[in-house]
A and B are shown apart, each in its own frame.
Chain A
Amino acid sequence: MFKLILMISLFFLTLSMIVALYRVIKGPSMPDRVQALDTISISLIGGVAICSVLFHTHALLEIILILGILSFVGTIAFARFIERGVVIERKRIK
């Protein structure tokens, strides 16, 4: 029963990732695509957590932290590119 619930939630996480992928490809504006990419990485984190419950291991927990850090840095880089037009500034205005 417990395993069945985990499988069903994995299925729905995959479904939400597919819907977010549609938004990445089709999205009318750039912020939509960035938000959809962030949603995909959050769903991926949930999927890895469910897998680590399913396999009875704690070796996968480092993947969650790494994915969180990388998606955070990536989202900030995209947001800066949309807002300022440049990712890393040479000398910022004070």
Chain B
Amino acid sequence: MKKPNDVILHSVTKVAVVIILTFSIDLFFAGHHDPGGGFIGGLGFASALTLLLLAFDIEWVRENIPIDFKVITASGVLIAVLTGLGSLVFDAPFLSQTFNYFNLPIFGKTELATAVIFDFGVALAVIGTAVTIILSIAEDR
């Protein structure tokens, strides 16, 4: 079998993965007022990791991103549930949210909401689930 030559695929992937990750983080933070949110941001993140897995191989990605994605799924679900339970401490119904405006050093007047923490948990759960499914389908033993 001759040595595969995919220079173009590797070069395009190294540029495109950065763009896709940036766009998915932008989608994640846009989710409070505009289309977007934790679910689609997590799916974009997972598609960037899929592109890395396609262009390179499993061993290379495991070596450079040494994260167990099942732990990511569990911690994401835990963050989402704990955010919901946190509202019970302040005598509010389960999963109720609040927001306020703060003066941050660089951003100026910024709206910080507790729903973003819940969204972060959802994003972590989606990333972990999607990458775990893809990795366990790709295992051919």
Given known contacts A62-B36, A86-B140, A93-B3, A76 and B51 CB-to-CB distance under 8 angstroms: yes
Q: Nearest Cβ distance between residue A26 and chain B, in whole angstroms?
A: 28
For A62, list chain B residues within 8 Å (CB).
27, 30, 35-36
Contacts of B42 in A (CB 8 A): none
Interface mask (A50-93 → B, CB under 8 Å = 1, otherwise 0): 00000000010010011001101100110010001011111111
> Min CB distance, A13 to chain B, in Å?
22
* A-B contact number at CB 8 A: 53
Please provide the chain B residues from 24 to 82 with a CB less than 8 Å away from any CB of chain A in the complex.
27, 30, 34-36, 40, 44, 47, 50-51, 53-60
Structural contact, B23 and A65, CB atoms closer than 8 A: yes
A80 touches B54 (CB 8 A): yes
User: How big is chain A's contact interface, by range?
Assistant: 20 to 34
Which single residue of chain A is at the shortest CB-CB distance from B36?
A62
Residue of B at shortest CB range from A61?
B35
- Whether B134 sits at the interface, judged by CB under 8 Å, is yes
- Our pick among A87, A91, A93, A94 for the contact of B54 (Cβ within 8 Å) is A87
Give chain B residues whose Cβ lies under 8 Å from the Cβ of A91: 57-59
CA distance A93 to B5 in the complex (A): 10
B23 to chain A: which residues have CB within 8 Å? 65, 69
Residues of B within 8 A of A (CB): 1, 3-4, 9, 16, 20, 23, 27, 30, 34-36, 40, 44, 47, 50-51, 53-60, 134, 138, 140
